[in-house]
């Protein structure tokens, strides 16, 4: 158990809908990262937050947005869902963030999103 929790575990929804995925980082970790894992694209970085502020952005679609709250939990919002958005969404956390020495990112168990 990495100490990172994600809810829900599974989500089934229809095209055009909007969903929110939630992540709680390990106790004391300030950075949160979101990744998408699909069969064709593999594991891809979406976005990083550090202590409430956006720090790095990957190939995140405009339909997707995220935020990190004062209690450090994070939410990933996916809107106008398409079939191709079906994937595993992972959250990871690390202690500090950019500018530091190497830090391990601890991954949560993921949320499996199925868009029908």
Partner 1 sequence: QKEVEQDPGPLSVPEGAIVSLNCTYSNSAFQYFMWYRQYSRKGPELLMYTYSSGNKEDGRFTAQVDKSSKYISLFIRDSQPSDSATYLCAMSTNAGGTSYGKLTFGQGTILTVHP
Nearer to partner 1, 14 or 27 (CB): 27
89 binds partner 1 (CB under 8 A): no
- Residue 16 is a binding residue for partner 1 (CB under 8 A): no
* Cα 77 from chain centre: 9
Choose, by CB under 8 A, the member of 78, 90, 113, 115 that binds partner 1.
90
Is residue 43 a contact residue for partner 1 (CB under 8 A)?
Answer: yes
Closer Cβ to partner 1, 4 or 66, answer by number: 4
Q: Using the rule CB under 8 A, is 4 a contact of partner 1? A: yes
Counting other chains too, the contacts that 84-89 makes at CB distance below 8 Å and 24 or more residues apart are: 84/115, 85/113, 85/115, 86/38, 86/113, 86/114, 86/115, 87/36, 87/37, 87/38, 87/113, 88/36, 88/37, 88/38, 88/112, 88/113, 89/6, 89/21, 89/34, 89/35, 89/36, 89/37, 89/113
Among 51, 58, 77, 80, binds partner 1 (CB under 8 A): 58
Least separation in angstroms between residue 75's CB and partner 1 is 18
Report the residue number, 42 or 70, with the smaller CB distance to partner 1: 42
């Amino acid at each position: 158990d990495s100490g990172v929790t994600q809810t829900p575990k599974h989500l089934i929804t229809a095209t055009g809908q909007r969903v929110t995925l939630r992540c709680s980082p390990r106790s004391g970790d300030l950075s949160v990262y979101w990744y998408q894992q699909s069969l064709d694209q593999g594991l891809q970085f979406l976005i990083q937050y550090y202590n409430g502020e956006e720090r790095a952005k990957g190939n995140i679609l405009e339909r997707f947005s995220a935020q990190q709250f004062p209690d450090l939990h994070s939410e990933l919002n996916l809107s106008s869902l398409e079939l191709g958005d079906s994937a595993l969404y992972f959250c990871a956390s690390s202690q500090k963030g950019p500018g530091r020495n190497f830090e391990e990112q601890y991954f949560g168990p993921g949320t499996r999103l199925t868009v029908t």
